[in-house]
Structure 1
């Protein structure tokens, strides 16, 4: 039995999915660097709908779908609850995407300010 931990992010009529159990160690390191949180804190933050956790995982889902988007771009700053929703799903509806971490991803993203 394959374990999955999948999320769907929806903004208007667009949607992105990610299975966190398919992320590599480098993926998690990058997400931790950008969020300032440990893997456990990110996972707990997702369940509690903590904004920074949601944003970095949504960014990873968008990168995995082939988008060239930075964390600080305007398109990564929607009004929460209007057209932007997040939900945990039982599994991905399509095959798992490639790892969102690439050398280009590291240089393309800007680290959000720590508070």
Structure 2
């Protein structure tokens, strides 16, 4: 598994809570920015608001980061965001992170069409 700095962007990352559940996500922002967004949502969690995300909901109920892959610009071109969505989907499937085994709500394969 590659390592990335907190300033890396276009990455697929995994959050693992102490209970062992995983959440796979992707970000075009820096890892640091996205991590702070998750922390903010956890800290300010309130059901049925914009802070009610799969991660914040889990942490709020269970009381409990790591980059999986850096998606670089392809030398042959192509949409980097689509590539990021595809890599995220592959990691969600590989790590079996869809609820109830993990915290991802769904495995979206539309990015492969």
Task: Give TM-score scaled by structure 1 length.
Answer: 0.31
**Higher Cα Rg, which structure:** 2
Higher relative contact order (CA 8 A, sep 6+): 1
